[in-house]
Amino acid sequence: MKSHVIVFPGSNCDRDIAVTIKNISDNTPEMVWHKETSIDTSDLIIVPGGFSYGDYLRCGAIASTSPIMKDIVKKANDGVPVIGICNGFQILIECSLLDGALMRNSSLSFICKDIFIKSKNTNSIFTKNTKIAKMPIAHNEGNYFVSSDQLKKIEDNDQIAFQYCDHNGNINDEANPNGSLKNIAGILNKKKNVLGMMPHPERAAEIILGCDDGKSIFKSFIN
């Protein structure tokens, strides 16, 4: 498997996800600096978490204008799998690969804790191997919002990837850490080859980290 991890100034989960991919697939991802203008043929492009450009203007807004993003958008539209985690999700939203917006958490606090997510879509390459999974979130702007018209389109097209739930899989307000509409923790594009998610599967991908549920997201990519 050939994979690529995009590195922006302020990315801080780029090496974690590279280690995860190496551990599960035995292939070391290529790290791509955001100033590059193109990526080779890729089986998986990862836009990692962090604080690209110090979250100036809006989280992910400045990174979405980086030179590499044009090629990522093109490849995503051609069907190449792309995953954006945390700040990566914010970047994919800002470059319009995914619908909606990620607003400040309703509590107005940075939240760093383990949560549970459940797959809503069950047949995409990213979601089909995950039922209920535990992994951490660590963000200040993860409160997913989308207009009611757009939400209907997303639901009708089965684009909700993950929802926050309790350890039994119940989706309710208590299990919603940040005020996200419909407990949405991750969404897919229309073609289902692009995933954005706020939780960090790469931080829960080895038992030594306390849990390896996060590996399930990448199971489809293991040779």
Would you say 55 or 99 has its CB closer to other proteins? 99
Where do we find the tokens 């836009």? 47
Active-site choice (34, 139, 141, 202): 202
Say whether residue 38 binds other proteins (CB under 8 A).
no
User: 117-156: which residues touch other proteins (CB under 8 A)?
Assistant: 145-147, 150
Alpha-carbon span 181 to 143, nearest angstrom: 7
Active-site choice (86, 95, 139, 141): 86
Alpha-carbon span 65 to 200, nearest angstrom: 24
Q: Could you say which of 1, 19, 31, 61 contacts other proteins (CB under 8 A)?
A: 61
Alpha-carbon span 85 to 7, nearest angstrom: 13
Q: Could you say which of 14, 16, 55, 94 contacts other proteins (CB under 8 A)?
A: 94
* 200 a catalytic residue: yes
Cβ within 8 Å of residue 186, ≥6 positions away: 89, 117, 160, 161, 162, 195, 196, 197, 198, 199
Residue 181, amino acid: L
* 4 a catalytic residue: no
Say whether residue 57 binds other proteins (CB under 8 A).
yes
Q: Could you say which of 104, 128, 134, 182 contacts other proteins (CB under 8 A)?
A: 104
Q: Could you say which of 28, 38, 106, 172 contacts other proteins (CB under 8 A)?
A: 106
Measured CA angle at 128 (ends 18, 219), to 5 deg: 30
Alpha helices in the chain (DSSP H): 14-25, 68-77, 87-94, 148-156
By the criterion CB under 8 A, which residues form the site for other proteins? Answer: 57-58, 61, 65, 94, 99-101, 103-104, 106-108, 145-147, 150, 179
